[in-house]
Amino acid sequence: MDDHATRAAAARTGATRTSGGQATRIDDIRGRFDRWIAGTVLALAALGVVMVASSSIYQDSNPYHYFGRHLVFLAGGAVLMALAMRTELKTVERYNHLLLLGCFVLLVLVFVPGLGVSVKGANRWINLGVSGFQVVEAVKVCFIIWLASYLVRFRDEVNATWPAMLKPLGVAAALVVLLLLQPDFGSSSLLLAITAGMLVLGGVNMPRMFGPVLVALPLLAFVAVLEPYRMRRLTSFMDPWADPFGSGYQLTNALMAAGRGEWFGVGLGGSIQKLYYLPEAHTDFILAVIAEELGFVGVCMVIGLFSLLVGRALWIGLKCVEMRRHFAGYLAFGIALWIALQSFVSIGVNLGLLPTKGLTLPLVSSGGSSVLMTCLGMGLLLRISYELERAQRQVARLRGDEVAVAASGPAPATAAPLPVAAMRAGEGISRGTNRLRQRVEPTLGRAG
């Protein structure tokens, strides 16, 4: 059999040859998980373990109660992360409609007597027996998966027609109504912001976005001032020292903690504000404890880690879109927006830059539901990086074989087309071998 016939047979079976002469199937090529994302997630989780132990040591009669609880949920999150890292994205995408249905079911379950749990007048949890679960954390992940799939299926229509653009906004608005009934204004705003951000990154016509935004902002402002307790939060944010023992109590203590930390902090475990002065020191206001014990340098370290995580996620999403792996790209964008916006709000609240909201600092704050779902999101992000690397290596192998075939002479008229594996490796690469040499241009949602 001549060299052309050998290569044609390899193409039909999806196999290539290594430099040692051994045949390698395209499907046998493996990817690698992004080390920057994995390292950043590990660093944030490790910091969270240390700071939860430090900030909660005086919060219960058992000084290790919240610390042990955090470790248990972190272990559960590690299991969910491992499962997500081993699950093909095409399998995740296949169940997008069921996940969206699950969002509505979860938000309704909190109102079911005996199943829903009310804490401080808010119906945000369901009773799982061993622990409560805040359903909105799961809703964030499920909704992002559905929206990423929607943008893949209707990316041309989203950019060209009003109905295709308004449908995801309508779905988000329906979820927001259920969230406001709990009530949960912070998560409602976060969900709308994620939706708008993913639509923009998905290629929506920007002038069309102005209309829904101009309608949504006044409505959100009206909802914010409708409840007296939300209005008190806004006024106390403007001048927390006007009522330091009332509406401004949380913010004034958080600011005192940040101010006391100065440049390098008072040392790990040396916080005074966590001694029954700062409410929710191990959850919503854990950054204030970090600022007091680790100082300005510690706060910059936290911001730097989140910036690295979000930046890397956006970069991976862009690379996926360039390779026409649109679902993976949009999912990476959604996870990046979720982590960026939630961490920004949490940090802003702790430093007095934003009104008080009950949002945890991802991977750092204590909170079982948040830890579990954030770990799941990070597992999906690592899976995206793995499949991107795998696709890049498969395409590189196929390109290398094409160069070898071209150098050996003209291909026979009956040359076999590229194998199916090549089609899976680069979703935007056509069947003709000459198309492999073309540079894949980024579209950010525009039709390929």
In this structure, is residue 279 part of a structural domain?
Answer: yes
Report pTM: 0.85
In this structure, is residue 28 part of a structural domain?
Answer: no
Query: Is 430 or 69 the better-scoring residue by pLDDT?
Result: 69
In this structure, is residue 222 part of a structural domain?
Answer: yes
In this structure, is residue 9 part of a structural domain?
Answer: no
In this structure, is residue 372 part of a structural domain?
Answer: yes
pLDDT band at 324, cuts 50/70/90? very high
Read off the pLDDT of residues 51-89 as tens digits, 9 standing for 90 and up: 999 998 887 778 888 999 999 999 999 999 999 999 999
Query: Is 444 or 395 the better-scoring residue by pLDDT?
Result: 395
Rounded mean pLDDT, 88-110:
95
Query: Is 161 or 310 the better-scoring residue by pLDDT?
Result: 310
Rounded mean pLDDT, 274-297:
92
Read off the pLDDT of residues 238-282 as tens digits, 9 standing for 90 and up: 888 888 888 888 899 999 999 999 999 999 998 999 888 888 889
pLDDT at residue 207 in the model: 83
Mean pLDDT (the chain) is: 84
pLDDT at 327 over 60: yes
Query: What percent of the chain clears pLDDT 70, i.e. is strictly above it?
Result: 84
What are residue 4's DSSP bridge partners? none
In this structure, is residue 290 part of a structural domain?
Answer: yes
Residue of 391, 386, 383 whose CA lies nearest to 425: 391
Work out how many domains the chain is built from and give that number.
1
pLDDT at residue 24 in the model: 57
CB atoms within 10 A of CB 235: 15
pLDDT band at 38, cuts 50/70/90? very high
In this structure, is residue 431 part of a structural domain?
Answer: no
272: containing domain:
35-390
pLDDT at residue 131 in the model: 82
In this structure, is residue 10 part of a structural domain?
Answer: no
Of the listed ranges 206-210, 252-256, 324-328, 389-393, the least confidently predicted one is 206-210
pLDDT at 98 over 90: yes
Query: Is 304 or 17 the better-scoring residue by pLDDT?
Result: 304
pLDDT at residue 212 in the model: 85
Cβ within 8 Å of residue 157, ≥6 positions away: 163, 164
Of the listed ranges 20-34, 211-225, 434-448, the least confidently predicted one is 434-448
pLDDT at residue 64 in the model: 87
